[in-house]
Amino acid sequence: MGQEKRIKKSYKICVIGCGHVGLVTAACLSELGHKVFGVDSDKEKIKNLNRLKIPFYEPQLEELVKKNFKKGRLKFTASISGAVKDSEVIFIAVGTPSNPDGSPDLTAIEKVSCQIAYNLNSYKLIVEKSTVPVQTGIKVKETILRFRKNKAFFDVASNPEFLREGSAVYDFFYPSRIVIGVESKKAEKILKEIYAPLKTKIIVTDINTAEIIKHASNSFLATKISFINAISRICDLTGADVKKVSEAMGLDPRIGKDFLNAGVGWGGSCFPKDLEAFIYIAKKLGYDFNLLKEVKRINQEQRIYFVEKIKEHLWILKDKKISILGLSFKPNTDDLREAPSIEIINYLLEEKAKVVAYDPQAIGEAKKVFKGKKIKFAQNIYEAAKSSDCLCFLTEWDEFKNIDFKKIRKLMHLPLIADGRNMFERKDLEKLGFIYIGVGR
């Protein structure tokens, strides 16, 4: 990895919450040379981490955890009080899931704020890392002021993360920007020192602005994807090619080429939850964010539309064997949260199709998600394709790019390819005798 960089000052840091964001942050901060405690209330998780068992798949994370654990710079504990007392800086990285009405559930943030207050034995900088609604920082501060046991000073800051699952470690070390929302020069200095080895622009703002930057960034990215998915529908209606449209649009530097891949839409633990939360908060503040409601609607419709396209070719789905390749919400992760595959598979099962699925990493998670459902899992692509009526690509794993389509053609019952991520070229597959369904092309 070779990420070890020189820091001016090594801070004692505790990261509360060892989920995706928290664990990556803890491991990467320790790699920078800080002394880090990863804290989680889940004792089983901590026990496993202390045995160097990582709870999810994220490239490079395991080696980073092992290396820094062995060097003694990264420790794991279930005792929040000890870790808080021993730390100068506390990152809050606990979950903020959605309530049924779309509002973010901030119970864990409040609980942690109280625990920090009870254990405030000296000056501490408390940093929000979790994605939270604007004005949460103020609430964290009020809570700590209300419950702190002694009059030790503290600062609250917002330092939203922009890590992508599947490339989170890389994103930490090569960030496009670091945003710090602070109320004091001291907090600004500490955060700048913590991140000193990372060469990127640091944007210093107030706390509310930093919180909005996070929600606005994720919402904008989701909007970009839904926009191109809407364009893909028009392309389908006119015989145009959405891939060419994105390519040409993306060359305009004001637009940019990223996040313009049409397909079965966005999922994951961030966009769906963050959009819901932003719509909810905006409404609470007096603004009806209809644009984001439409972004969500386009995304949901895209999945059903994709199944409808398959149905056009297969006519009746009942008893047809449909092979799903790719279950995770994106490549290089085993995360299935809000993955398009879930909705699409459920839809196929409702129509009584025979579903067999393969994913390079996510089968373990998928078995939990689809527990009790009539779905089979294959060991590899070719086993999944055997006697299939449709090979359906839902995640663009690298492994799928090198498929031996000649072999696949012989294995399939009906040579139908439904490419939900526009990974392949129609003419190449048609040459091999396949029927090709893309999205917007």
Q: Pseudo-torsion of CA 37, 335, 332, 345, nearest 10°?
A: 180
Q: How many residues bind ligand UGA (CB under 6 A)?
A: 21
Q: Which of residues 87, 131, 323, 422 is near ligand UGA by CB under 6 A?
A: 131
Q: Which of residues 265, 326, 420, 440 is near ligand UGA by CB under 6 A?
A: 265
Q: Which is nearer to ligand UGA, 31 or 161 (CB)?
A: 161
Amino acid at 53: K
Binding of ligand UGA by 260 (CB under 6 A):
yes
- Please enumerate in sequence order all residues whose Cβ is within 8 A of that of 361, keeping only pairs 6 or more positions apart, or say none: 57, 328, 332, 333, 334
Q: Which is nearer to ligand UGA, 88 or 171 (CB)?
A: 171
Shortest distance, CB of residue 423 to ligand UGA, whole angstroms?
A: 12
- Write out the catalytic residue numbers: 270
Q: Which is nearer to ligand UGA, 90 or 260 (CB)?
A: 260
Q: How far apart are CA 110 and CA 377, in angstroms?
A: 41
Task: List the x/- string, 342-371, binding to ligand UGA by CB under 6 A.
Answer: ------------------------------
Contacts 24+ apart (CB under 8 A), 344-351: 344/264, 344/303, 344/306, 344/307, 344/392, 344/394, 344/420, 345/370, 345/373, 345/375, 346/373, 347/303, 347/304, 347/307, 348/307, 348/317, 348/322, 349/373, 349/374, 349/375, 351/311, 351/317, 351/318
Region binding ligand UGA by CB under 6 A among candidate stretches 7-15, 54-62, 100-108, 256-264 = 256-264
Instruction: Count the residues in the chain.
Output: 441
Binding of ligand UGA by 330 (CB under 6 A):
yes
Region binding ligand UGA by CB under 6 A among candidate stretches 55-63, 87-95, 158-166, 193-201 = 158-166
Binding of ligand UGA by 173 (CB under 6 A):
no
Task: List the x/- string, 60-99, binding to ligand UGA by CB under 6 A.
Answer: ----------------------------------------
Tokens 């002021």 found at: 145
Q: How far apart are CA 292 and CA 278, in angstroms?
A: 8
Q: Is the dihedral of CA 415, 418, 424, 426 positive or negative?
A: positive
- Bridge partners (DSSP) of residue 390 are 322
Q: Which of residues 91, 271, 280, 405 is near ligand UGA by CB under 6 A?
A: 271
Binding of ligand UGA by 438 (CB under 6 A):
no
Shortest distance, CB of residue 265 to ligand UGA, whole angstroms?
A: 6
Q: Which is nearer to ligand UGA, 270 or 310 (CB)?
A: 270
Binding of ligand UGA by 259 (CB under 6 A):
yes
Tokens 């060097």 found at: 71
Region binding ligand UGA by CB under 6 A among candidate stretches 204-212, 257-265, 399-407, 430-438 = 257-265
Question: End-to-end alpha-carbon separation of the chain, Å?
Answer: 40
Binding of ligand UGA by 19 (CB under 6 A):
no
Q: Which is nearer to ligand UGA, 81 or 98 (CB)?
A: 98
Q: Are strands 74-77 and 154-158 parallel, antiparallel or unpaired?
A: unpaired
Binding of ligand UGA by 419 (CB under 6 A):
no
Sheet harboring 35-39: ordered strands across? 74-77, 35-39, 12-16, 89-92, 124-128, 154-158, 178-181, 202-205
**Sites of contact with ligand UGA (CB under 6 A):** 131, 161-165, 218, 221, 225, 259-261, 263, 265-268, 270-271, 329-330
